[in-house]
Structure 1
Amino acid sequence: MAVGPFPGERATGSLGHKPTTSISSVTSTCSPRPFSRPSNLSRPLFGEIIPVCDLYSIANVVVFPSSPSSLSSSPPQSPSRPYSQQHGTGTGTVSHENTPPSPFIEALQNIGLGSPSWSASAISVFTIILPTANGYVTRSDFLKLRLQDFPYKILRSYEPLRPLQKYIATSPTPGPVTSEYDLASLVDSAAGVVQWEDLPTSVSFVDLEVYRTRLTEELRDRLHNAPWLSSTPIPRKRVALIRGRPNITAGGPVYRAAKALGLDLVIVDEEGHWLQADTEENKMHREAFLGTDMTEDAGVVDRIIESIVSYPLPIHGVFTLSDNFFVAVAQVAEALGLPASPVSAFETSVDKYRSRLLQNVPGQTARVSSVEELESLLSAGSSQQAEFIPRFPVIVKPTKGWSSECVSKVNNLGDLATAVQKATSRHGSAAVIEPFFDGPEMDVNFVLLDGEILFSEIADEPPCDADSRSATVHSTFSPEALTLPSALPSDEQDIAKSTLRDILVNIGFCTGVFHVEARMVNSSFEYRKQDDVVDLVRKHSQSLPDSGAECKLIEINARPPGYRVTVPTRHTYGVDYFVAHMLAAAGDKNRLRLTTKPYAHVLGDNINDAQRGAQYWSRLVYIPAPAAGTVQWPSKLAPCEALKRQRPDLADKIVLGVDYCVPGDKVELYTDGARTYVAHLLVVSRESRKDVIRLGDEVQKAFAIDVEAPSKASSELSDGETMVDLDGDGSE
């Protein structure tokens, strides 16, 4: 029996390689050494120290289920034969219970790894993580973050470091470990230890060597110079979150990130918020709750300031994830002298008319407060007529809004009033009329430090209903999926990043996390169906644009993307936007730089391509409500779980599934002009982008949720909440 390939690989041999005839032939520059027997081990073990980058070494340890005398100091005669055939191990073999105590095994058991009774029919593999220099812990869950969705199954892991504590590094010499006591000492001083899923004794020595090589290479890509430790002490700080999250699903990643960073979190929100009660569970999520009247009026800034000033302990930063509190929180930070971007920058970003003027098209952008004002603007006698001449199609949207709510694409003058009426009815704001920019839509996310891009990614948003040529004023811009990393050519990605970064810096945003939506006009790529998959592909030569590509801003969100998008980025790239957002708010520039290093993986064949950093292709699939009515779960299982059980062929491709509704919740097809979502799932592929899109399409088709029409719903069901915005504030 051979060890299987990494998920997504096509096996051409025992591990996706052609069969080999010698152990050394499968090694590479970062490969482990071939097996040899250390002279003084009291257990059948093999351990080796391997440097994987400047910041880390690892110790891979293999525990064999056989007596020490069965190991040979030279390569086996038949490397392709199973280990059990060469050494007679298997069911019925004497276990280790009668052998002397093993220091290494005892050290593992002391930290909760290994097994009290070692199996005689399996090979155990452990990896010890060893930073190469002393330092202070930037985040206590670093190893968990970097190893998420690892291609080989992790049975258990040990991560003993506390946030901010000092770690003293060991400097073991690379090469085989010659003492079990040395291995035990490494366990005691490790920053982390991982126990991988056991291998069968039927595995050949060649396959076992390939397994260790692959394991080492994968760890190298995940740990590659990503700092876990700071060379200088990290002062403990306290930050205030203005408006706590509406539920644990949306808030959990924020609270857990604060805890891992060693940031004390104070919540400022309305009386009666679910985090207010001083329960043991709530205390795990926040240090304190400051009940405050959050009515959005002229006095809200003063009330927030009063709550913060009255708190007996110092607060070093304030932040929010709620779009409608950006300006207020910036004003609070300014009044208290806390780190934040200028108030004027937030005032520009939240006003879609003002942000549109950053790339103004003369005569094609207008702002109106009512249909009557629109009619006046368009009337023949209007003095403004020469200033505004709409060229259809145009976009009409609220100057204040989010999640594509009440955004309309208008193809003719007759529908303009309908769109303006819809936009001005949302949030009591005016409507902005602006050009429709035709081209691939994208989300461009930044982590900036003093104007420098520490990390940036582009995700592709496939065409939605309103992008269709047959779209009407009632069609929506609600997204259906998001694909990471982008398929746009690297030069167009560079244009997008440089254009949008300059816009951010020019209006005053220099440090923080920013979620920017844009379109690439005159792109050399377009969405087209090819090989049964709709994706970005290069345009036919006759369709290539005459002029160069341009990036056109849609809107600026001075925050991380919402929960639905931030968590997939953490899975795909290993970068946590919530962590970066809080560190920016606390003014912790050192850790902001240290915590934004993506993986070192490369997708595809070009090592210089723009896809560096993603461990796989991922597709975030949005599930819209199939009908209006009351949610039911006939199988008694949540729909995401039911899908995985009914389609085991898809289950291992779904790394994240979140249901928004429970039985009894009432949903509508649309909420404020946007589709109502009932779930989202993150689907991944290590094979290709085409494969992940195909998988996403399969998941979307297979997902099932029952919604009973209002006339059929039982009157005994409790009134539920319409589920459209998981974050409760408009963020995705």
Structure 2
Amino acid sequence: MSGVIVARGENSTEVRFQCKWHANNTATDASGVISWQSIDIFFKEKSRSSSFSWPTNTEENDLLIEVPTGEQHKILPQDFGSTAAFQFVLDCISAANNKHGSAARLAVPQSHGYIIRSDIIPLRLLDCALVTSVVAFATPHQFFDGKPMRPEALQQLFNALTASAGGMLLKNTCSDRIKTIDSQLSHLNIELHNRLSFPWLSMQVPKRKTLALVEGGRRSPDHGGNGEAVFKAAEALGIDMVVLDNPGHWLDGPRWSHWRKAFIPIECTLQSDPVFTRRVVDAISSYDGHIDAIVTFCDHYKEPVAEAALQLSLSTCSPEAYALATDKFRLRRFEGDEAYRASSMEQATSIVLEHKLEFPLIMKPCTGYLSEGVFRVENLSQLEADAQSLNVERHGADFAIERYCDGPEVDANFVLCDGELLFFEASDEFPKGADVNGYGSVKSFVELGNILPSNLPGDELALLRDSLHQSLLRVGFQDGIYHLEARVANSRTEYAIKDDVLDITERSVPAKAAPSAWLIEINPRPPGIQASDATKHTYGVDYWGLGLLFALEDRDRVKQLSHPFAQGPQYWCEMVFIPVEKGGVFDSEDVCAELFSRRPDLADCVSWCHCFSTKGDQVLDPSSTGVNSWVAHFNVFSRSSRAHVLEIAECVRQEVRFSVVKISFQGMKENE
């Protein structure tokens, strides 16, 4: 079946496209629960006015249907069901400006039900190598009746767009692997089965709910904050957000107001003070709308916000569990390990001497974050120096002293529902500069890089998974996303440099005891933006969306959206951290944009990146302030091998260029 679409430009210039399509048979996911029909559409340019050019604004584009008699009938965005679908068709025909034309696919649900997340199609097709773009056509909570579509005319094809959950524009490719459109579509069938093999429709009638978020994110999206991930997930899930944060917060103004239903000003200090719970309760109580639940993703606010939820008769995890998990001293003792609490250099020295503790030791703030104030201590004099350099204002005066474990470290993320493990993944965290095998130039525990999936032996990963799962249950956690840091004591592996690349390898000297899990800390929240984004792209699981659903006790959608890709991770991914090494004034432009302008080949291997500083920003010196920060993050990937992603990541590190200058007493810039 075919028809002609005409795009009209200025002065009645136009370009005509032949549009052909066919509806495929129904495909069913591996579980047999969800089925969908794909409709493939092909566009090819037939003729063009010599002076035709595409209008700059979407609103200025005129599309028309040409009927067999030659008459042309204008079509409007609403004829496609949505502006997104209209723009999708524009993108498809503008991409057909070549001898091969363009091809697209629609995904039409063939099962009855409400879509569990309106952007589920583009979410699950992130970084699919076969497509250029993926667009969601569904609206939150939309019901699909499952009727098959067999369009015989262009107008009926537009009806198919309104019945679709999303559309995919295929890449124009002439690779050896995929030489024809038919072959490309065949491979896309395989990808869709891999990515959509879980129940993404539900027969549960949805109800739009309102969630209060305490602390809306300290950084705006412009400065690398997680706001876009959180609030776009809320939008796709059909959740209204009420934000509680400091007056003047970036969500308080008009620019981002579309992301929240209301903004309630409340004092949010760096550390939660004794009256924080009361402020939260008063703010929620004075709100003139309905609140279904309350949540925070800030570690320091977990306990007081849980207390506030209890006072407001809203669902919450136990405040006591949060208090235990966020106190590193208490958690270490709870795990049955030796640990001591101190708040001064004199107390720390006394503890080491009294208990005859053996070096090296770890000292760290009891309620710290970002690995700030964490030191590996080799002797008493170093202990005294490190104790004096702790940033009390940011992390409080109390710090823990415990044994140092030199085994390979992982970031381990868990999704639990009613105590059951729904999803687990671990990434290998490269040795920090302060580790005994550290390679970083900054001698601290600031993160330098993570790679997923982990390359630890399978039995050691299973040991970590099972041991840490039981630790979470013992603390009192049954539901939620938990970001844990841990090491494998007496692992059969170690980090070593081979062919100029650092990676996990078999130990040169066998361990003297059996491997065991060494829990470092529990963060009762999703991991940071770069790690959450890496998991979303690599496995198809969005932690921020799950975090919102957990707060609302929406267990059905939590279980549905915790399914990773059926065939596992789609590639190897490394999170590359570019740390601040010295303080001064940032004297460069956006380092990510600058890198990609020189090395566009590297841009093709990056799924997410951000430069955290702009020219003229003051950059704090980590050695004198105890504040860890990064110039930029890059998430790089490879479909070839782990060795290849390590090679790309190292290339990114070497190629990133920036300058931090120090202002001298004479006001002159000195390069650092």
TM-score, normalised to structure 1, is 0.78
| Counterpart selection for 1:650 from 602, 605, 619 | 602
Check the 8 A contact 1:639/1:703 in 2, yes or no: yes
The equivalent residue for 1:595 is 561
Check the 8 A contact 1:627/1:709 in 2, yes or no: no
| Counterpart selection for 2:361 from 388, 391, 394 | 394
Q: Partners in 1 of 2:71 and 2:472 — Cα distance?
A: 59
Q: Partners in 1 of 2:464 and 2:70 — Cα distance?
A: 61
**1:358-413 deviation digits (Å, cap 9, x = unpaired):** 2233xx4211121222344355xxxxx3xx33121110111111111111101223
| Counterpart selection for 1:167 from 144, 147, 157 | 144
Q: Partners in 2 of 1:160 and 1:713 — Cα distance?
A: 60
Q: Partners in 2 of 1:209 and 1:619 — Cα distance?
A: 33
Q: Counterparts in 2 of 1:119-158, with a 5 A limit?
A: 121-155=99-133, 157-158=134-135
1:208 aligns with 2:186: no
| Counterpart selection for 2:343 from 355, 369, 373 | 369
| Counterpart selection for 2:445 from 453, 457, 477 | 477
Amino acid of the structure 1 residue aligned with 2:554: D
**1:260-292 deviation digits (Å, cap 9, x = unpaired):** 111111111222223224x2x332111111112
Check the 8 A contact 2:122/2:135 in 1, yes or no: no
The equivalent residue for 1:565 is 531
Amino acid of the structure 2 residue aligned with 1:372: E
Compare CA radii of gyration and give the structure with the larger one.
Answer: 1
Q: Partners in 1 of 2:477 and 2:492 — Cα distance?
A: 30
Q: Counterparts in 2 of 1:41-56, with a 5 A limit?
A: 45-53=21-29, 54=32, 55-56=34-35
Q: CA deviation at 1:302?
A: 1.0
Structure 1 residue runs of 5 or longer lacking an equivalent are 1-36, 68-95, 380-384, 602-611, 717-732
The equivalent residue for 2:577 is 622
Q: CA deviation at 1:239?
A: 0.9
The equivalent residue for 2:304 is 328
Amino acid of the structure 2 residue aligned with 1:676: S
Q: Which moved further from structure 2: 463-472 or 241-250?
A: 463-472
| Counterpart selection for 1:670 from 612, 617, 622 | 622
Q: Partners in 2 of 1:579 and 1:476 — Cα distance?
A: 33
| Counterpart selection for 2:238 from 226, 250, 262 | 262
Check the 8 A contact 2:612/2:631 in 1, yes or no: yes
DSSP 3-state at the match of 2:38:
strand
The equivalent residue for 2:275 is 299
DSSP 3-state at the match of 1:213:
helix
Structure 2 residue runs of 5 or longer lacking an equivalent are 3-17, 47-64
Check the 8 A contact 1:457/1:485 in 2, yes or no: yes
Check the 8 A contact 1:619/1:692 in 2, yes or no: yes
1:240 aligns with 2:219: no
1:252 aligns with 2:204: no
Check the 8 A contact 2:277/2:307 in 1, yes or no: yes
Alpha-carbon distance change, 646 to 626 in structure 1, aligned in 2, over 3 angstroms: farther
Q: CA deviation at 1:254?
A: 1.2
The equivalent residue for 1:348 is 324
Check the 8 A contact 1:107/1:187 in 2, yes or no: no
Q: Which moved further from structure 2: 181-190 or 484-493?
A: 181-190
The equivalent residue for 2:55 is none
| Counterpart selection for 2:611 from 644, 659, 662 | 659
Check the 8 A contact 1:657/1:682 in 2, yes or no: yes
Alpha-carbon distance change, 122 to 347 in structure 1, aligned in 2, over 3 angstroms: same
Alpha-carbon distance change, 283 to 628 in structure 1, aligned in 2, over 3 angstroms: closer
Q: CA deviation at 1:178?
A: 8.2
DSSP 3-state at the match of 1:266:
strand
| Counterpart selection for 1:311 from 282, 287, 290 | 287
Check the 8 A contact 1:369/1:430 in 2, yes or no: yes
Q: Partners in 1 of 2:45 and 2:148 — Cα distance?
A: 31
Q: Partners in 2 of 1:357 and 1:101 — Cα distance?
A: 81
DSSP 3-state at the match of 2:140:
coil
The equivalent residue for 1:706 is 659
**1:105-124 deviation digits (Å, cap 9, x = unpaired):** 98998432142896572232
Check the 8 A contact 2:93/2:102 in 1, yes or no: no
DSSP 3-state at the match of 2:610:
strand
1:409 aligns with 2:364: no
Q: Which moved further from structure 2: 696-705 or 592-601?
A: 592-601
DSSP 3-state at the match of 2:575:
strand
Alpha-carbon distance change, 550 to 674 in structure 1, aligned in 2, over 3 angstroms: farther
Check the 8 A contact 1:60/1:125 in 2, yes or no: no
Q: CA deviation at 1:128?
A: 1.4
TM-score, normalised to structure 2, is 0.84
DSSP 3-state at the match of 2:594:
helix
Q: Partners in 1 of 2:548 and 2:238 — Cα distance?
A: 11
The equivalent residue for 2:42 is 63
Aligned residue pairs total 616
Alpha-carbon distance change, 639 to 712 in structure 1, aligned in 2, over 3 angstroms: farther
1:285 aligns with 2:285: no
| Counterpart selection for 1:556 from 506, 519, 522 | 522
DSSP 3-state at the match of 1:126:
strand
| Counterpart selection for 1:580 from 531, 546, 558 | 546
| Counterpart selection for 1:421 from 388, 392, 405 | 388
Q: CA deviation at 1:181?
A: 7.7
Percent of paired sites with the same residue: 31
Q: Partners in 1 of 2:574 and 2:179 — Cα distance?
A: 35
Q: Partners in 1 of 2:331 and 2:439 — Cα distance?
A: 26
**In angstroms, what is the RMSD of aligned CA positions?**
3.3
Q: Which has the higher contact order (CA 8 A, sep 6+)?
A: 1
Structure having the higher strand fraction is: 2
**1:204-249 deviation digits (Å, cap 9, x = unpaired):** 9963332222222122212122x32222111111111111212322
Check the 8 A contact 2:118/2:236 in 1, yes or no: yes
Check the 8 A contact 2:581/2:622 in 1, yes or no: no
